[in-house]
Amino acid sequence: SDFDALRREPDVELRFIDRPSGDALPDCLILPGSKSTIADLQAIRERGMETYVRRCVEAGTEVVGICGGFQMLGQAIRDPEHVEAHVSEAAGLGWLPTVTVFHRDKLTTQARGVHLESRLPVEGYEIHCGRMSPAPEAEPVVKIIERGGVPAEELDGAQARNGRVWGTHLHGLFDAAAF
């Protein structure tokens, strides 16, 4: 559902790719959520998409990760209890200064927040077992102000490379028309 709002925009052309193509690089590359983050990260590598992501970043393309895609953009993904994977750890793509650790309890909730750079409201849902540990230099992307109908004050996401690489756990943030 993360692409539904973008699909409705008349000036947006969506292309879904699972292998690098010779086409021109996109204006924005989005790594969506995943139910098997480590396995999907391995598939990205096997299909040559890690090199494609690097090409995009180096060319100035905005790279966005949503939930599992956000986790993949970090330094490492750890699954010590094998919640999602048979391996205990995988190196991330390394574009964000974050580490994800999977836990058995899954966070599933509706959330409202504010995109920190634009100050625009965003809302959506969170559904993930991974808990993010950002490095001190990580810049958050969203301030969560409500979670499950209860007021909250928590930072989410991370950005790097002058805001060109960023991610959040918030699915549906593109549904906010102004954002």
| pLDDT tens-digit series, residues 53-101 | 999 999 999 999 999 999 999 999 998 888 888 888 999 999 999 999 9
Tell which residue, 63, 71, 61, has the closest CA to residue 41: 71
* Rounded mean pLDDT, 24-32: 93
In tens, the pLDDT along 144-169 reads 999 999 999 999 999 986 789 999 99
133/74: higher pLDDT: 74
* Rounded mean pLDDT, 9-24: 86
- Rounded CA gap, 133 and 44, in Å? 23
* Active-site choice (115, 128, 169, 171): 171
* Active-site choice (28, 56, 67, 128): 67
- The predicted pLDDT at position 109 comes to 86
109 token code pair: 């909730």
User: Any catalytic annotation for residue 67?
Assistant: yes
100 token code pair: 């994800």
8 A C-beta contact, residue 164 and residue 63:
yes
Strand order in the sheet with 158-160: 28-31, 62-66, 165-168, 158-160
Binned at pLDDT 50, 70 and 90, residue 143 comes out as: very high
User: Any catalytic annotation for residue 171?
Assistant: yes
Mean pLDDT of all residues belonging to the chain? 90
- Rounded CA gap, 175 and 3, in Å? 9
